[in-house]
Amino acid sequence: MARSAIINVMVQAAMKAGRSLARDFGEVQNLQVSLKGPGDYVSQADRKAEEIIYAELSKARPGYSFLMEERGAVEGDDPQHRWIVDPLDGTTNFLHGIPIFSISIALERQGQIVAGVIYNPAMDELYTAERGGGAFMNDRRLRVAARSKLSDAVIGTGVPHLGRGHHGMALIELKNVMGETAGIRRLGSAALDLAYVAAGRMDGFWENWLSPWDIAAGILMVREAGGFCSDGTGGPHMFENGTIVAGNEAIHKALVKTIQRKG
């Protein structure tokens, strides 16, 4: 598969950071970890991966702005382009030796996500998408699953933990979805959850209390694989609300309706 110049830039940055994370993952017990907040850890590996990505992308496209998990917003000379980066989505998995974590890089142009890369270095799975060009995993074309009934569907989610989220609301949503579906999965990396929806491995996904860097690349991945993404009300305000629902047309619609029930 021939990749565009911008996807090549993003893949190069993700692969280089991925090699660094893979080395640190092998030494996870020796990592020095600082406490950023209750249940929310930031490791040396996380910071190192972000530095690599920042350096690679800045060199390839000088002037582009950034929104990064650790570094925050970095204003560039080019206000039309912004990189949205999560250098390690699934930090808790990483620190516990669970090989489900990812690097997520998206490019936003004039407010629209136009390119995305999600890479899991532990499994060497590289997901790429470009607006209008489809979604791929290791150069294999992706399509969302075709199941149309929630009763047949496996749905991914994230659940709040110590210091994060509204546990009562999450339990209501979880109860409602549990009663309608064939199974629920909690991977621990929203970026990979969305990549799995794009790949048809899961039929849908929903989560609350997310940041733009968690979902930016994944939104494009799902859409380019033929799926739908919205906030929890079915609207377009995923970044603003921190909520996302994803799936094929039928599953997305049913999932929005199910999580909106309050009892």
Q: Which residues are annotated as a binding site for Mg(2+)?
A: 69, 86, 88-89, 214
pLDDT digits (tens, 9 = 90+) for 232-243: 999 999 999 999
Contacts of 139 (CB under 8 A, 6+ apart): 1
Average pLDDT, the chain: 93
Please give the annotated binding residues, written as ranges.
Answer: 69, 86, 88-89, 214
Q: Which residues have CB under 8 Å from 38's CB, separation 6+?
A: 162, 163, 164
Cβ(67)–Cβ(82) under 8 Å?
yes
Any idea which residue has 């996807």 for tokens? 7
Domain 150-259 class, CATH top level: alpha beta
User: Is 90 exceeded by the pLDDT of residue 260?
Assistant: yes
Both tokens of 146, joined, read 């075709």
* Domain boundaries along the sequence of the chain: 5-141, 150-259
pLDDT of 124 over the 80 cut: yes
E strands along 100-223, which residues?
Answer: 102-109, 112-120, 125-130, 134-137, 140-141, 154-157, 183-185, 204-207
> Given a cut of 70, is residue 1 above it in pLDDT?
no
In the numeric block, the tokens 């530095």 are attached to 51
Global pTM reads 0.94
Q: Kindly report, residue by residue over 185-217, the tens digit of the pLDDT.
A: 999 999 999 999 999 999 999 999 999 999 999
Listing DSSP states for 200-216 in one string gives: TSSSEEEESS--HHHHH
CATH superfamily of 5-141: Fructose-1,6-Bisphosphatase, subunit A, domain 1 (3.30.540.10)
3-state secondary structure string across 88-106: EECHHHHHCCCCCCEEEEE
